[in-house]
Amino acid sequence: MTITHVNPDTMHKNPYFSQAVLTEGGRTLYIGEQNGVDAAGAIVPGGAKAQALAALDQLKRILADVGADQSNVVRMTVYFSKDTPLDPIFEASNEAWGNHPTAITVLQVHALGRVDALVGIEAVALLP
């Protein structure tokens, strides 16, 4: 299994994401959107940062369950609801995710699947 982060010298570089990720070999894990909920499924209090931390924790738990970690993630999509500030979500990512740049798309949406959800994160990982 090989994961190569593609960041051409002729393009902008950012320490938090890769322009593209090339994968070869291995199995693919698709993780559906995770909202900022606790173990009982209740939305965590504390706003966008708290919800993003919870969603990222869930991603890490799912990855661990199949013997993987953040380094296996090749793509993420971050959804945040309108009127939700983006900076706290990036702060949470810096805290919880570590230095694991991946291809990423960030989308502001009208609403998420739950009325009280501010953040949703989904991921794709390449497994050995």
Q: List the CATH number of the domain containing 117.
A: 3.30.1330.40
What pLDDT, on a 0 to 100 scale, did the predictor assign at position 31? 94
Assess whether pLDDT exceeds 90 at residue 128. no
How many domains are there within the chain?
Answer: 1
Range of the domain at 108: 26-127
pLDDT in tens, 44-83: 999 999 999 999 999 999 999 999 999 999 999 999 999 9
What is the average pLDDT score of the chain? 92
* Domain annotation covers residue 57: yes
Assess whether pLDDT exceeds 90 at residue 108. yes
* Domain annotation covers residue 11: no
**Distance of CA 52 to CAs 4, 10, 120, Å?**
26, 32, 8
Assess whether pLDDT exceeds 80 at residue 16. no
